[in-house]
Amino acid sequence: MDIQIFEYLNNQLKDERKLFLLIFGFNLLFFISGLALGYDVHHFADKADTDGTSYYNIALDPFSSSPEESGFRHATFLYPLITYLIAQGNPFATALTMEMINITAFSFSVVMFSRVVSLDNARSSVLFYAFNPILLISTHGGMNEPLFFTFMFGALYYFRTDNFKMSAIFLAFASLARPDFVIFSFPFFLLAKDRKFLPYFLIPLITISLHGVHLIYRFGLDHFLRFTSGVDSGFPHSMIGIPFQTFFQNRFFGGVNTPAITGLNYYINEFLTWSIFFALILSIYFIYKKKHIDYFSLSLIVFGSVLQPAYSFFSGFFRFASMVPYLYKIPGLTLNNKMLSLFGFLYLIFGISLLFAWFF
């Protein structure tokens, strides 16, 4: 029965329209279920125990002369800006709009991801991306990853199909959605395909540069230098450093000024963080052995490894790692059809269970 369910879902993923409706319908149903259980829209925005609280506050007045949130939060400007343009600062409408934007954006990101992996005949990886618990929590927790991933996978798809102009436009929007993450993809776009993308790279380069000038004008350069270094930034460690330094420090020496994760949550957290870590290492090994070549994934893993993760599996680094396509290809590369279906079914149950556990 479990294999039949997985195979049915896998078949639905082949049609982009059905795929979008399946993911959109599931996430909308989850949101409506929460409302039916008595939660209000703020439960999924500024009360979701995520960074979504900051984006909610920014979306109420993104051009405030005295912003409450840090410049780092304002750097990921596109999501709260679109929310503000729709909701016009109304608290209820803002929370509702954030949720609907994310459900729609995440559904589109799954479609774009499907297009990308179909070029590698790795369509079985779509289900693993669509029900990644980190991304599901991001979608319903007012985070900006759904919008960012949509533009990133759009940029990658058009790049791989030699539509460099469209790729550059998508990459420019990705630069406004998460400039701190998008820069780790730049080496791939600049060096792949015999550097044919180089003239078009001016579009995202000018976009991110103008956005950077705007941020420095509002918050000052020192603000971002302190945040990156971790000195007097309000964060327990720097945002960049030796690859995986903070990951191992948190695991073996305890987190510094990090809220304790105890009980069952501790084991879930360790399982997820170690699983992602080993999957990243395995991805590099497979690429090195030419089991399946994916230089976009390699670029993200290698250059993005300087990002320093906080203790939780939901920290920025692990959300960034969730953009690496190779992670979702590993099951299809290592398991036979029967085991893949069984693993896929268990993964599906785990992802949905963790989503419900986070919010309810």
Domain boundaries, the chain: 2-359
Cβ(46)–Cβ(52) under 8 Å?
A: yes
Cβ(68)–Cβ(59) under 8 Å?
A: no
Quickly count: other Cβ atoms within 10 Å of residue 197's Cβ: 21
**Tokens standing for residue 323:** 């953009």
Cβ(293)–Cβ(325) under 8 Å?
A: no
Q: pLDDT under 50 in the chain at which residues?
A: 233
* Partners of residue 307 on adjacent β-strands: 240
Cβ(324)–Cβ(145) under 8 Å?
A: no
**Tokens standing for residue 157:** 């798809």
pLDDT tens per residue across span 64-104: 877 777 777 888 899 999 999 999 999 999 999 999 999 99
Predicted local distance difference test score (pLDDT) of residue 75: 87
Strand, coil or helix: what is 307? strand
Predicted local distance difference test score (pLDDT) of residue 258: 56
15-24: long-range contacts (C-beta < 8 A, 24 or more apart)? Answer: 16/111, 16/114, 16/115, 19/110, 19/111, 19/114, 19/126, 20/107, 20/108, 20/110, 20/111, 23/106, 23/107, 23/110, 23/130, 24/103, 24/104, 24/107
**Tokens standing for residue 156:** 């990658």
String of DSSP letters for 285-304:
HHHHTTSS--HHHHHHHHHH
Residues ≥6 apart with Cβ < 8 Å to 146: 101, 102, 103, 105, 106, 109, 135, 138, 139
Predicted local distance difference test score (pLDDT) of residue 134: 95
**Tokens standing for residue 56:** 């909610």
Show the DSSP H helices in the chain as ranges. Answer: 2-12, 16-36, 52-60, 71-75, 78-87, 91-118, 125-130, 133-140, 145-160, 164-177, 179-182, 186-191, 202-219, 221-229, 245-252, 263-288, 295-304, 316-321, 325-334, 337-359
Predicted local distance difference test score (pLDDT) of residue 124: 87
**Tokens standing for residue 319:** 């959300």
Which single residue is written with the structure tokens 């419900």? 356
Q: How far apart are the first and last CA of the chain?
A: 28
Query: How far is it, in rounded angstroms, from Cα 43 to Cα 29?
Result: 15
Query: How far is it, in rounded angstroms, from Cα 243 to Cα 330?
Result: 22
Query: How far is it, in rounded angstroms, from Cα 154 to Cα 147?
Result: 11
Strand, coil or helix: what is 45? coil
